[in-house]
A and B are shown apart, each in its own frame.
Chain A
């Protein structure tokens, strides 16, 4: 009876239930609610599905282990997005360093090298168009801080306030970053939009 009611709970109520009573059912519901949005967000930021899944899983592991660090003053979604964003940034930097030493040294400087592995790629599985693939590649060229803001606003459709809380910056800064990110993205995609 109680378990059935959990699905009606808000995110904050669920995490409080998990915090206070250690009810793992509440945690499972939170996982079900946030696994796909977080996967989408992290994938758009990293551009690699395998590492994206790892990052999202690590995010939930952190939520599980450090559940007491959550304060009810903020929204649960902003807290979990902050954790995922931090882990994604760390993973992206690690990947970039690894690529710099392994692949980039052999080729051109500006080009990004994605090793094609279509077996696990969700975009291929979902019959993704070429356009979306180009957009994703262009997105990865945008500066990290701009990209994060653009993804959170234009793909995840979060409010400016939520983004400001997640990125721990002012709303004005969020807006300017989104604007610059969009401009950069459009510059990279000029061949598509000129047509």
Chain B
């Protein structure tokens, strides 16, 4: 016995002599009942855990939503309706025609006007061809490529000069007419027929003074170009 125990001797004796508390007589029976109940609770808990409405409801909702998505939406379905194969809807407001003779044929105004326009365009193209031919013969060029380039330049300048209108405004009606010729339609023209005459994107009608200025500028550019070429040729050994 150490000193500490000596100091608490009385206390320790009293603690040791405290009456022993025993378990009740029915302790084992109660214990057995508790063990059995805990076992049954354990088994119930397993099924309750998975079959409780708290867990079943979200699972059921998830399954139902998945089924809806699969059958209703079905994005990747191959049986998608082809819009071209869908039969047209019957319109009840239209009168049913039993024979073709009953159908009244009315002349379409628009189609007639389109035809007239195409005629005008063709005429315009013929005129441009004739004008190009005349220009080429007047110049007397033998080389076809040189002739073409000159033709285009001349045609632009001639057209610019010969244009009667002095206004600079853009007019929708004048878009097809330029210098007596008609702007070519992409359907009726070929690649050989296209020239600068027909590529007036701005569709702008210049006054005579402006046309002269343009021609002077062109002349200047040409003289500058020729001077440069001469200089380059002189520099080279």
Give A contacts to B, CB under 8 Å. Answer: 28, 31-32, 35-36, 38-40, 43-44, 49, 52-53, 56-58, 60-61, 64-65, 122-123, 126, 128, 131-132, 135-136, 150, 154-155, 157, 179, 182, 185-186, 189, 193
Contacts and interface: CB of A to CB of B under 8 A. Distances in A.
A65 B38 CA distance: 9
Contact of A35 (B16, B23, B34): B23
A4 to B, nearest CB: 19
Contact of B22 (A40, A61, A150): A40
A117 B70 CA distance: 68
B-side interface mostly:
helix
Interface of B: 4, 8, 10-12, 14-24, 27-28, 30-31, 34-35, 38, 42
B19 A182 contact: no
9 contacts: A36-B21, A39-B23, A52-B21, A56-B27, A60-B31, A132-B19, A155-B15, A155-B16, A182-B8
A-side interface mostly:
helix
Contacts of B38: 61, 65
A13 B227 CA distance: 121
Contacts of A52: 21
A186 B8 CA distance: 8
A39 B21 contact: yes
Given A35-B27, A57-B30, 20 more contacts: A36-B20, A39-B21, A40-B21, A40-B22, A44-B18, A53-B30, A57-B27, A60-B35, A61-B38, A122-B21, A126-B19, A135-B15, A150-B15, A154-B12, A155-B15, A182-B4, A182-B8, A182-B12, A186-B8, A189-B11
